[in-house]
Amino acid sequence: MIPHDFTTKTLSWVAIAIFVIAYTFVILEDVIHLRKSKPVIVAAGLIWIIVAMSYAGIGRSDQVDAFLSHNVLEYAYLFLFLLVAMTYINTMEERGVFDALRGWLISKGFTLKGIYWITGALAFVISPLADNLTTALLMAAVVISVSGGRSAIMADKTLKGFVVLACINIVVAANAGGAFSPFGDITTLMVWQAGKVPFGGFLGLMPAALVNWLIPAVILSFFLPNAKPEPKKEETRLKYGAFVVVGLFIFTIALAVTFHNAFHLPPMLGMMTGLGFLQLYGHHLKNTDKSHVDDNRIGRFDIYNQLQRSEWDTLMFFYGVILCVGGLGALGYLAQVSGLLYGVLGPTYANILVGVMSAIVDNIPVMFAVLSMNPELTQGQWLLVTLTAGVGGSLLSVGSAAGVALMGQARGIYTFMSHLKWAWAIALGYIASIGVHMVIYDLSF
């Protein structure tokens, strides 16, 4: 259904103002401590009131329900998919999988340069499966623990410099690794669920993603101290059933791919089926696992506790963003922007600009806007915009969820300004990765 053009109407300008104000609150979340979902949910409701009033004014109120239903369905697919993924990640965390990995790294006595490269490499490798945010938080925890904790880092200029460089490396690596898998980033998941790129097609982004990480990683490595912290012994253990949960997660991913590729069903249906298997196994854990007997602080396993621990603020934020952008699309703005970007600038310049925009504005609304515009692009161009939206957020610390999360985890150490100091090195990786991709897919300006 083609939206009517209301872009010159005063009410539509009010809708734009509402969205800008709401997103300003989102950007300032770390300063004002207002959860990012709250302003966009309110903005979504107000924008759709404006949509309804606009279409009522031309006697086409029937179209509003069709536009809204389409956006709500898009959100439902994304919501259910992410809810399952988050539940699995929470369950693996509860079973001690991530603690065991962190404890092993801390106890090995690597040099600071070794920790820098190991955490970066693991962030690049793990993020395609465990998502870039979870991976970045895990690797940053290793870096901070090895460095002696927050107080030791703040008291030692050398350690502080190391943590800053290591955090930048982790953010870039996690975002780059998440770009070549539908499970690594929300934007790649959105592109896959929209059917723009097949599951295996994302692997074509691996060379460009690797270049995107390695170039800044090598540059930053020259400024690392040659120190070796004291190895620490951290008592960690895997709980009963940990490896089975990991296996079920891999099986669930395979189900999502099979449902999509073989049966042409939404991937979320495969994920929900996998959640059912996890629930059944959770029943077994609840009645078999005796870890709560050894430590009375640990209660019996309950799968619904892991479900409740999902990032509800993030899930609600996606609702607000999708409905806000969808409402602006119903008012005709996305068609106008699409004509300007892809009609005037051309697909390559437009897709590169999308990456730069995602460093300033979160990549999720940017990518949803591109998908809503639905420009005529080749698979190579769809992969290009997936790459730029995924790795463009690394240019600024506020440009990705991984960067924002690490600023909170290493508060006062890894900051916006400390990241900005090295933005030139990250930009070199960004430009080089685009060049690699254009050579591989024979794209031109």
What is the structure's pLDDT at 154?
A: 83
> Can you give the pTM of this predicted structure?
0.80
Could you tell me which of 327, 433, 331, 441 has the C-alpha nearest to residue 377? 441
Q: Residue 377 corresponds to which amino acid? A: L
**What would the 3-class secondary structure string for 350-382 be?**
HHHHHHHHHHHCCHHHHHHHHHHHCCCCCHHHH
What is the structure's pLDDT at 294?
A: 58
What is the structure's pLDDT at 291?
A: 67
What is the structure's pLDDT at 30?
A: 66
Mean pLDDT of successive 10-residue stretches along the chain, which has 445 residues:
88 96 83 87 97 95 93 90 87 85 78 92 90 81 80 82 94 94 86 91 96 97 82 74 92 90 90 96 87 60 89 86 91 86 89 88 80 90 95 86 78 85 96 96 86
Residue 48, both tokens: 């759709």
What is the structure's pLDDT at 106?
A: 74
